[in-house]
A = this chain, B = another copy of it.
Amino acid sequence: MAADGDVDQRSETQRAIVEATYAALQTHGYADLTIQTIADEFEKSKSLLYYHYDTKDGLLIDVLKDGLDRFATRNAVDPDATPREQLETFLDRSLPATLDDETRAFRLTIFELRSQAPMNEAYREQFARADRLLYETLVEILERGIETGDFRDVDPAYTTDLLLSLTDGGMTRHLVTSDDARVAARDTLDTYVESTLLAD
């Protein structure tokens, strides 16, 4: 699965604005985000910001699109890897065993933007698109692995839906409670994969 190319179609200025918005979101959070806090992180003039984006909401949709493309790209699989390796990579990106600062900051930004999705249809469309991309990628990995005999003969659609909810819920429970929750959720995920999915 590749990103849909939008990332590269952005101009250098748009790219810099998107990066400034990430930085502002990570410093201030969604609730305290203003055009001014974004401008503070942006090296060029504030009028350029308005030239490219009419509203804060329009800018945030674009940031979200960028972020989900990045996430989808990070979850892209090496076509030369075995299905087992592809699955491992996919799951480790969805629910990392350890979180470096950059990944954590990125996941937190997406997490905060997610909280706006129930109230905002344009956000929901972006999250639905990302969910679909992840779903299709994982179904393909499972189908190939069943064919090659790496995986047991499970139902790919059911197992994919289960794994997506499991990693999503595990990550959320981690972010809103403690690091211990991620370790537990990751153990649970590994146990599920080993006991149910991997062929002996």
A residues with a Cβ closer than 8 A to B are: 29-31, 108, 111-112, 114-119, 123-124, 127-128, 131, 158, 161-162, 164-170, 172-173, 175-178, 181, 184-185, 187-188, 191-192
Q: How many copies of this chain does the complex contain?
A: 2
Counting from the closest, the 9 A-B pairs by CB-CB distance are A169-B169, A115-B115, A168-B169, A165-B169, A117-B176, A128-B177, A127-B176, A165-B170, A161-B188
Indicate if the CB atoms of A172 and B31 lie closer than 8 Å. Answer: no
- Taking CB atoms, residues of chain B closer than 8 Å to A115 are 30, 111-112, 114-115
Indicate if the CB atoms of A165 and B173 lie closer than 8 Å. Answer: yes
- 19 other A-B residue contacts (CB within 8 Å) besides A115-B115, A165-B173, A168-B168: A29-B116, A29-B119, A30-B31, A31-B31, A31-B116, A111-B115, A112-B115, A114-B176, A123-B176, A127-B176, A128-B176, A128-B177, A131-B177, A158-B191, A161-B185, A162-B188, A165-B166, A166-B169, A168-B169
- Taking CB atoms, residues of chain B closer than 8 Å to A176 are 114, 117-118, 123-124, 127-128
Indicate if the CB atoms of A118 and B111 lie closer than 8 Å. Answer: yes
Q: Can you show 18 pairs from A to B with CB atoms below 8 A apart?
A: A29-B119, A30-B31, A108-B118, A111-B118, A112-B118, A115-B115, A124-B178, A128-B178, A131-B181, A161-B185, A161-B188, A162-B166, A162-B192, A165-B168, A165-B185, A165-B188, A169-B169, A172-B172
